[in-house]
Amino acid sequence: MTRTERPVIGFLTDFGLDGAAATCKGVMLSICRDAQIVDVAHTVRKYAIRDGAFVLRAALPYLPVGTHVAVVDPGVGTSRRPIGIRTGRGDVLIGPDNGLLIPPAEALGGIEEARELSNRDLWLPVTTSTFHGRDIFAPVAGHLANGDATFDDIGPSVPTQELVRLTEPEATTADGAIDTIVTYVDSFGNVRLAGGRQELTTAFGALADGAGMTVNLNGVGPQTVTFERSFGAVGIGATIVYVDSSGNLALAINQGNFAGQHRVTSGTAVNLRAI
């Protein structure tokens, strides 16, 4: 049996499920027939660059090294730059220069080099002003994945300090207190928070499973919750605070929907306090 090492392309957009992402995949496959395309997500909240960055940062480190395309791009067709980023791990990330690619690049070993996509030989022959995913990002990724273009071919280097960056939400800690913010609401309604195990330890010391604390958010609370490792450690409908599978602080209701019940969205302020 012959085995071929197929090039991997991770692909995330806010295009929804009605054909636009498939169109881009068609372009990639027309150039690189052997590509193994992994749809990371296409139902990212429209225009929500931070949500896209969160999902990419959580997912891409688990994909093989590859050429990954991400398009959450409210500025398509304006002067925002189309870019490629080469990461420490060896991936290339392709997408708009609006902050979307920075968090995943940092999770993939950091930014080694950034380049502006300007080599039109790697684009579709005709480009439009509203669908750079199809016309620019997909074909560039296809050529890189196929090996008929190198990272240097995509366009001139851009100083990494010139790249657009999102402000990074942060948790602040005090003795017995964490003030943080919701960074992402997942499809279960579990809410991911800025900060992680380190902030937890700084604020509350070494927490045993089942340790109690209070949570305030959206004018609701204080509600007592327990620190646990798994959802099923508490009864159905009970709330836990936990460190999620990417190392973030998080809140969840066992078999329930925390965000739906408490009307939580990205950016909601959350206060955790020792009892």
Residue 150 in the binding site for its own copies (CB under 8 A): no
Q: Which of 96, 94, 105, 104 is nearest to 76 (CA)?
A: 96
Question: What tokens appear for 123 in the block?
Answer: 């684009």
Provide the token pair at 30: 């027309």
Radius of gyration in angstroms for the set of CA atoms belonging to the chain, rounded to a whole number:
21
Q: Pairing mode, if any, of strands 67-71 and 92-96?
A: parallel
User: What 3-state class would DSSP assign to 151?
Assistant: helix
- 125 near its own copies, rule: CB under 8 A: no
Residue 170, φ and ψ in degrees, nearest 5:
-130, 155
Provide the minimum distance between the beta carbon of 47 and its own copies in the complex, in angstroms, as a whole number.
5
Q: Which stretch binds its own copies (CB under 8 A): 83-91, 127-135, 171-179, 196-204?
A: 127-135
Of residues 22, 220, 269, 275, which one binds its own copies by CB under 8 A? 22
- Which residues, numbered 224-243, are part of the site for its own copies (CB under 8 A)? 229-233, 242
What character string, x for contact with its own copies (CB under 8 A) and - otherwise, covers 180-209? ------xxx---------------------
Residue with tokens 């999902």: 55
Which one among 90, 120, 130, 263 touches its own copies, defined by CB under 8 A? 130
Q: Which is it for the CA torsion 85, 12, 81, 165, positive or negative? A: negative
Binding site for its own copies (CB under 8 A): 1-6, 8, 10, 12, 15-20, 22-27, 29-30, 33-34, 36, 38-44, 46-47, 55-56, 58-60, 62-64, 74-78, 80, 128-131, 134-135, 186-188, 229-233, 242, 244-245, 254-255, 257
